Chains A and B, each alone.
Chain A
């Protein structure tokens, strides 16, 4: 035990990046395994008979049996799992219980739209919240402008408390139905991205604004900033060079935690806007009890979240090399 850890320690000292990447990769693999297993278990754990539920109560028994056979539900669990993994390796996600279409096709057709939405929304969050939070902190530091601080706190808490799907409904009602500025639903070109992205991005923006402000205030109170002030640098270089990078690493760590929630939020927002993405497919199939599609959606969204977490970790490590040493 000790020799192994000693050897690992020696390796970590020489190649911290190798060890860091290996550990992250192992964690990613374990988590992916959990997601795969969960999605496999889902259809098998659902109370009652999911096949009958999907096909309807009055479906003939031989059709149900045939479907069960087709899904492999009549084998032992272990055999089923092996088969499931084999199919997964070939990109086969099974067929929809309702339409009979291959689920993989559905995912392939719909995933890009969802990802685009999530990425755009996340980009909006970063673009608004990072400079905004920094400015807010500089503006209200040390108890200056208490009124501006109050307004900031009130606005951001109201915004942060705004659920995305409710906001989506409100935006549809206001801007699409009443004022007819934007399309109501569907993907009809660049214009139709505005409302879904806005609905998805608003609450995370508010949360991140507050985080960035708090982090900036922390940086503004540090000794090294006082040391930088002692050099009397002009204020723009001072804030850009000394404050922003340190704020960024702390804020991005927390922003990385917002991204998975944002991906999950697409499910609800896509339903409101009838967006042709994986989330709305999931919402529909939940209602239709099409567990094959639900299972695949959980798998895809869950893996997306994990991969995103992994990438965020790597990006942060690049930004702040100390974290590699700290976290290995």
Chain B
């Protein structure tokens, strides 16, 4: 989710959009498309006027000639110039295609929109009808109806419209159903708005764009299909002619003269590709998918504190920075994170959304999304310096020494693989454990996370398990390798409280039994305080405080931590105590403002805070704060904050 900075910047956003769409048109494909469409339009308008007479003038003296200087493509059986016929056939070919598409689109969209408006049984019937019609290929349906309506341009257009309508209906139905399921539609229905109003105000505006796009692409297919019908003798009849008919006539003499058949073919391909590209460009403009450029981040390596690697530390990170290049700016969600985890320690990393906690974790696990770029001051994992080891060594170390548990157990398992495969593949790949032994290990781990079922569970697929079960399997899988560090990225956020408690208990037990360090990332400050030994509080891409978990409730020294604690409704706190609210919004992740990231929301700020960025420095043993003026420890936080707010 992107939070837009609360500034009155409507025109800015609009400009951004138009810039994006302009850049799509300015791309090579955009230019080619415009050129092709323009030439088609010119030909359609001018072709018949300029070459119409030449195209109809028979010349008995030059029948079925090959290409000559006067007849570049040769002549047909009546001696008419084929090039002139080709050019002046443009308008009819395009006109018929556009007519068929529009007719089909109107019929189909009406049918599809009806499904969104009518009630239950009628909707199901309409849906079944659309399904049934869609089972038949449009070309076959068009041939059937063209034969029914009688050969001729009109018959072909109607036949094609009938054949393409189900496709439009299906797309409209799908799109409308998508809009109908949203909360804002539900809100509008709760307001008791009438059906036509819902349709006109809420449904149609949302689906108009994809429908237009679809119509464009369909016009290309209609052109081809109509040419096909003419080619079969079901479309345009002589003496009228379109490209399909010209192709059909040219094909009869293809053994002697290929060009009269190839030229109309080229024309058909040209027009169809033009429509195809137009669809492509429109889709690109709609998605505004601008490509991210690879970022060349200036390597700002601060003077490295060459501390000796501590034996006790599983992970040491200093000055981690992550940059995400986006089309028009560089987002820097992580700006200098320093942390260390001892063996067997459970450390919580808390912060609100956008504070950079998840990206910090992904950077440590070397799983950053494509295009993101991480720089490190120091990066030591299991005693080995990441910079001095080769990429292969590092991969191996991460593979055997680190495991990650992700937030959403519903999507963290591959739906098409069995649980057993997903649990055992890592040990089999990295430790070379034989299959049977790996399965035994997996069974032991499942036992440990209190999952009954054994081998049957290993043979099941993820969708057969509940969310809590999946997360327990994820924990079992993570501890298969006996890693030195487990990164748990919001592992309980998607789960219910009772399940959350089971998961937390499991994590603590694993930490206890295997001496595995756990980096526990969460937005839930109460949960972290309850489960971890130490808490790192993140704000604006930096760690602002590092303190023992039991001190979090009352002993926090950074103003942000205090305010965060005061804003959490708690089961044990006084109910009538007003919750503290932090005014203002989080800092802009793109901005490069000097100073403390919290200074503009901080009630205790000094002048220095806006200019100079505080670094994390020790205050008490095991307590570090990045603040120029840490709050005194003695005061009870709730009272003090309330007093200050009241002032």
A residues neighboring B (CB under 8 Å): 27, 30-31, 34-35, 38, 42, 45-48, 141-144, 146, 150, 153-154, 157-158, 160-163, 165-167, 169-170, 172-174, 177-178, 184, 222-234, 237, 241-242, 245-246, 249, 260-261, 263-265, 267-268, 271-272, 282-283, 286-287, 291, 294, 298, 301-302, 305-306, 309, 320-322
Contacts and interface: CB of A to CB of B under 8 A. Distances in A.
30 contacts: A27-B131, A46-B150, A47-B150, A143-B371, A150-B29, A158-B273, A161-B220, A161-B224, A161-B269, A165-B228, A169-B247, A172-B254, A173-B259, A223-B407, A223-B411, A227-B413, A230-B402, A232-B398, A232-B399, A232-B426, A233-B429, A241-B417, A241-B421, A245-B416, A260-B135, A268-B231, A286-B234, A305-B137, A322-B461, A322-B463
Contacts of B406: 223, 226-227
B403 to A, nearest CB: 7
Contacts of B412: 223-224, 227
B606 interface: no
A46 B430 CA distance: 71
B415 A227 contact: no
Contact of B137 (A165, A184, A260): A260
Contacts, number: 203
Given A227-B406, A232-B429, A287-B232, 4 more contacts: A166-B265, A169-B262, A227-B474, A283-B232
Contacts of B259: 173
A261 B228 contact: no
A246 B232 contact: no
Contact of B258 (A178, A263, A265): A178
A177 B254 contact: yes
A169 B280 contact: no
Contacts of A157: 273, 276-277, 280
B292 to A, nearest CB: 5
Contacts of A271: 231-232
B417 A245 contact: yes
Contacts of B474: 227
Nearest to A310: B135
B251 interface: yes
Given A224-B412, A265-B139, A142 B369 contact: yes
Given A157-B273, A260-B137, A305-B137, A229 B367 contact: yes
Nearest to A206: B276
Contacts of A306: 135
A161 B272 contact: yes
B231 to A, nearest CB: 6
A264 B262 CA distance: 22
Given A144-B370, A246-B416, A163 B135 contact: no
Nearest to B276: A161
A162 B275 CA distance: 12
A224 B411 contact: yes
Contacts of B365: 230
Contact of B132 (A31, A170, A267, A301): A31
Contact of B140 (A47, A301, A322): A301
A31 B247 CA distance: 35
Interface in B209-244: 220, 224, 227-228, 231-234
A314 to B, nearest CB: 15
Contacts of A260: 135-137, 140
A184 B140 contact: no
A153 B291 CA distance: 14
A286 B143 contact: yes
Interface in B388-442: 395-396, 398-399, 402-404, 406-408, 411-417, 421, 425-426, 429-430
